[in-house]
């Protein structure tokens, strides 16, 4: 898609759905006054996200202005307060898309937000219902409007996701030709859980899961890149929200041989501790704990993005057969990683657990989810913050990868 066709058009925005008033299903909500209780800005290389959190569903419209290029968002039934006034202070000079932002009371019933841009963008606005500690949210995602998505796999996948076309276009080419590790590098997709608006679990001392798992993932990538027969990619390498289906699609796009999702567990009791490894199950969870964890991890899309349903594979017998083989490989892979994690931390369970984790659903990529430690446990939270433990976890995962392939791994089936 060319830059000219994707650039902001004031006429298109004014005539299109982006300029329409969005109506709440609750007429009572319209009559009552809305109040913005939080504003958050998440700049990243792929897109910038602005989130307005409020006590009620926000009624809004958007349009564009030129010379200079601006995106304007009007919010009806809201009065300017100190939270909204602070929006401009949250815009970083390093933001790739927003140059500045200002907010004012446009009329007695309308607050106007004006985002001056550094480059042309394609805005994507949507509402998120309350979940966890979050109230009603209006999300403003600003994506590059040029042809960057044609060169950036993540941008292209996000674009398909936002259009509801990811399932139709999801790549399914399988692994690259040749025997992994011999004829070509072993391709590993590392997935640091959560990110951006979704912090994941938070420890007693305010350690955020999204931060520590990104650090561990970066350490693992650095170790893998030192191996002559391996190549690492990451689903995210910054503080950005990536929907679960996009993470899976990115692994497929890169034709990964393995997928490793890295997390830091949490439980209602601070006594819970230990490392765990999980694989996908299509027949129900193998334990109550695994079922609970899968539900909390799958809810990430409700926290940070629009949950899009539908799986084009579920009704296909061939898919079920392929995924059964993949799950078998995942269990073998997970066992090798779990055995190595036992050398650096107490194990929460001595076997690989299974549940319906959405992020592990690549049909032909052996995939595991590693819960490195319980961030809700005070002692393990402290360990997770240390470079030494992060490195030990990364070394253990790499050792598990090597052991899996040394024992044949997917080589016998896919080589």
User: What is the per-residue pLDDT across 248-264, written as a single tens digit (0 to 9) for each?
Assistant: 999 999 999 999 999 99
Q: Are residues 182 and 324 located together in one domain of the fold?
A: yes
For 400, list phi and psi in degrees, rounded to 5. -65, -40
Question: Domain boundary at 149, 179, 199, which?
Answer: 149
Q: What is the pLDDT of residue 321?
A: 58
Residue 227 and residue 114 in one domain: no
Q: Is residue 158 part of a domain?
A: no
pTM: 0.86
Asked whether residue 391 falls in the same domain as residue 293, the answer is yes
Do 87 and 101 meet the contact criterion of CB atoms below 8 Å apart? yes
Based on the domain organization, do 188 and 260 belong to the same domain? Answer: yes
Alpha helices in 49-163 (DSSP H): 82-85, 148-151, 153-162
The range of the structural domain enclosing residue 46 comes to 3-149
Q: Is 33 exposed, middle or buried (0-12, 13-18, 19+ CB in 10 A)?
A: exposed
Residues above pLDDT 90, as percent of the chain: 66
In a domain, 256, yes or no: yes
160 occurs within a structural domain: no
Final residue of a structural domain among 96, 115, 149? 149
Q: Are 401 and 258 in contact (CB under 8 A)?
A: yes
pLDDT in tens, 61-102: 999 999 999 999 999 999 999 999 999 999 999 999 999 999
pLDDT band at 51 (very low <50, low <70, confident <90, very high): very high
Q: How far apart are CA 227 and CA 214, in angstroms?
A: 20
**Domain shared by 75 and 113, yes or no:** yes
Give the model confidence (pLDDT) of 301-357 as tens digits: 788 775 554 454 444 444 565 678 899 999 999 999 999 999 999 999 999 999 889
**pLDDT (average), residues 203-231:** 97
Asked if residue 132 and residue 50 are part of one domain, the reply reads yes
CATH of the domain at 45: 2.60.40.3500
Q: Greatest CA separation found in the chain?
A: 70
Strand (E) or helix (H) holding 27: helix 27-31
Number of domains in the chain: 2
SS3 helix, strand, coil % of the chain, rounded to 5? 35, 25, 40
Q: What is the pLDDT of residue 173?
A: 60
If you average pLDDT over residues 172-191, what whole number do you get?
85
Residue 391 lies in a domain: yes
Which is nearest to 259 in space by CA: 334, 191, 185, 173? 191
Do both 333 and 394 map to the same domain? yes
308 in a domain, yes or no?
yes
**Of 114, 149, 184, which one is at a domain's C-terminal end?**
149
Are 139 and 172 contained in the same domain? no
Residues 214 and 262 in one domain: yes
Residues contacting residue 71 through CB under 8 Å, at least 6 positions apart: 8, 62, 64, 114, 115, 117, 121, 123, 140, 142
- Residue 340 maps to which CATH number? 3.40.630.40
């Amino acid at each position: 898609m060319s830059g000219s066709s994707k650039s902001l058009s004031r006429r298109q925005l004014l005539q299109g759905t982006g300029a329409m008033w969005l109506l709440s299903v609750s007429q009572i909500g319209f009559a009552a006054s809305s109040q913005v209780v939080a504003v958050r800005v998440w700049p990243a290389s792929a897109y910038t996200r602005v989130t307005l959190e409020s006590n009620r569903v926000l009624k809004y419209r958007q349009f564009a202005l030129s010379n200079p290029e601006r995106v304007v968002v009007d919010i009806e039934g809201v009065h300017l307060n100190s939270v909204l006034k602070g929006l401009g202070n949250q815009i970083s000079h390093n933001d790739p898309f927003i140059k500045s932002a200002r907010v004012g009371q446009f009329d007695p019933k309308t607050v106007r937000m004006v985002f001056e841009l550094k480059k042309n963008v394609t805005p994507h606005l949507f509402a998120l219902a309350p979940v966890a500690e979050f109230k009603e949210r209006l999300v403003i995602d600003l994506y590059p409007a040029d042809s960057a998505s044609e060169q950036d796999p993540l941008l292209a996948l996000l674009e398909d996701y936002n259009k509801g076309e990811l399932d139709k276009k999801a790549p399914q080419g399988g692994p690259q030709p040749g025997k992994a590790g011999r004829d070509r590098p072993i391709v590993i997709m590392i997935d640091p859980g959560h990110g951006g608006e979704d912090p994941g679990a938070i420890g007693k001392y305010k350690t955020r899961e999204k931060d520590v798992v990104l650090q561990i993932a970066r350490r693992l990538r650095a170790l893998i890149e030192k191996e002559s027969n391996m190549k690492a990619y990451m689903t995210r390498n910054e503080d950005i929200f990536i929907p679960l289906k996009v993470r899976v699609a990115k692994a497929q796009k890169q034709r990964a041989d393995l997928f490793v999702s890295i997390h830091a567990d949490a439980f209602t009791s601070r006594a819970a501790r230990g490392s765990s490894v999980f694989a996908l199950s299509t027949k129900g969870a193998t334990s109550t704990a695994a079922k609970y964890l899968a539900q909390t991890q799958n809810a990430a899309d409700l926290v940070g993005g629009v949950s899009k349903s539908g799986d084009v594979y579920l009704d296909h017998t061939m898919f079920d057969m392929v995924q059964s083989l993949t799950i078998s490989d995942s269990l073998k892979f997970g066992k090798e990683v779990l055995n190595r994690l036992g050398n650096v931390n107490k194990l929460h369970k001595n076997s690989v657990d299974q549940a319906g984790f959405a992020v592990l659903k690549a049909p032909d990529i052996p995939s595991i989810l590693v819960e490195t430690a319980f961030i809700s446990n005070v002692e393990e939270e402290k360990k997770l913050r240390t470079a030494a433990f992060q490195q030990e976890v990364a070394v253990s995962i790499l050792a598990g990868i090597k052991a899996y392939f040394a024992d044949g791994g997917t080589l016998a089936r896919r080589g």
